[in-house]
A and B are shown apart, each in its own frame.
Chain A
Amino acid sequence: MGSDFYLEIIISNNSSKPIYEQISSQIKALVMSGKLQPGDPIPSMRSLAKMIHVSVITVQRAYEDLQRDGFIETTVGRGSFISAHHRNVIHEEHRRKMHEHLRLAVEAARMSGTTLDELTRLLVMCYGEDCQ
């Protein structure tokens, strides 16, 4: 059961990230990179737990988070699927990431007494670098 799904998830036992977060963030990454498409089935909680050798409750928590964030949908009897409305969700997720990193940058700027102007210049420079 469940062996027809191939879900590339790597679990690290030494990561400071909880295992349920490792699972949910990797499934999110697979969706964002397009490796998982809307409508694609994902393994049931119990078969994924067995596959990657973790407890059911850990996978359950990961799936609950994914569902809350709109990445997956679960239908009773049919299992879990990548949500069809995920384009907005991906956009949201990217925004959330940007916000998080920018917030860190602002924190570092404040600590070092960098002005908003200087920080903005830095941002423009970084954006330009990536474009090339």
Chain B
Amino acid sequence: MKYSLEVSNLTKAYPGSDFRLDNVSFAVPQGSIMGFVGENGSGKTTTISCILNTLKPDSGVIKIFGEEMTEERTDIRDHIGVVFDAINFPEALTANKLASVFKDIYRHWDGGLFQHLLQRLQVPADTRIKDLSRGMTMKLATAVALSHGAKLLLLDEATSGLDPVVREEMLDLFLEFVEDEEHSILISSHITSDLEKIADYITFIHNGRIILTEDKDTLLYQYGIARCTADQFQSLDKSEYLSSRKRGFQVDVLISDKESFSRQHRDITVDNTTIDEIMLLLVKGDQ
């Protein structure tokens, strides 16, 4: 399999802080969308900053399109589109002015595509950025990210704080982007229902460590939550589940294969699960 992004053994500590990225490794296959999930402060943004080389990792290797990313490789960076939660476009500029700036910065700037995206997303081209709503600003940022020949999109909470209609428009754009099988996306989001719609893989990060990477359909259709009584839980072997969490009288148990679990334990109720619930159990539960 070819990978657009490979992160291997990435480590980064901050002086004066307990937080550190601890041996983070994962890979985004070419042509796919990887959802990147974790609580606030779990290390998502630090990881993405290291990938972009805006933060210098203590150790580890980052490969983009199979080549190692170093400070000199600005040519690789040309093919990475970025949308962050906080947008830092100069507030006094309009979308049109922005376009004339980017034309000189990006080697592969596509002005026609940018105008087309502005129209499609109904972003006013002649309004100053400071007068745009948050939704408009995020749409503008997405249009920029898609207009400079990017093959890899890094989206850090790009859809947070947006209404369902705007999010749907953005998700449409992302699915269109990966219609080209050389294109890939790494998207971090707390809105896991969005990821359940469009992501191919999900990677969970917690306390600076990757705790699970899995095929999304496997998570949604093969993983499950067993709702056990205390006695039923006692009867389980530790190897049968990934994590457990006591909730009142019941114990919720995360299992990786609900069909085989149900065959073994016909009397235990097993529910389908969601990315949110898996994260809760992995983060708050006992392993």
Contact = CB atoms under 8 A, between A and B. Distances in A.
7 interchain residue pairs of minimum CB distance: A57-B200, A50-B175, A46-B179, A18-B221, A55-B200, A55-B198, A50-B179
B272 to A, nearest CB: 8
Nearest to B199: A55
A58 B217 CA distance: 7
Nearest to A54: B197
Given A1-B179, A46-B178, A49-B175, A57 B220 contact: no
A66 to B, nearest CB: 16
A55 B197 contact: yes
Given A46-B179, A57-B32, 4 more contacts: A16-B272, A46-B31, A53-B175, A56-B33
Interface of B: 31-33, 171-172, 175-176, 178-181, 197-201, 215-217, 220-221, 272
Contacts of A74: none
A20 interface: yes
Contact of A56 (B172, B178, B220, B221): B178
Contacts of A47: 179
A50 B173 CA distance: 9
Contacts of B31: 46, 56
A72 to B, nearest CB: 19
B200 A56 contact: yes
A61 interface: yes
Interface string A1-31: 1100000000000001011100000000000
Interface of A: 1-2, 16, 18-20, 46-47, 49-50, 53-58, 61
B187 to A, nearest CB: 11
A2 B180 CA distance: 12
Contacts of A53: 171-172, 175, 197-198
Main secondary structure of the interface of B (DSSP, over half): mixed
A58 B201 CA distance: 11
B201 A57 contact: yes
Contacts of B198: 53-55
A47 B180 CA distance: 9
Contacts of B221: 18
A57 B179 contact: no
A16 B221 CA distance: 9
B33 A55 contact: yes
Nearest to A2: B179
A57 B218 CA distance: 11
B153 to A, nearest CB: 15
A19 B198 CA distance: 12
Contacts of B179: 1-2, 46-47, 49-50
B217 A57 contact: yes
A58 B198 CA distance: 9
A50 B32 contact: no
B178 A18 contact: no
Contacts of A61: 217
Contacts of B200: 55-57
B154 to A, nearest CB: 18
A57 B179 CA distance: 12
Nearest to B183: A46
Tell me which of B180, B199, B221 has the highest count of chain A C-beta atoms within 10 A of its own C-beta.
B221
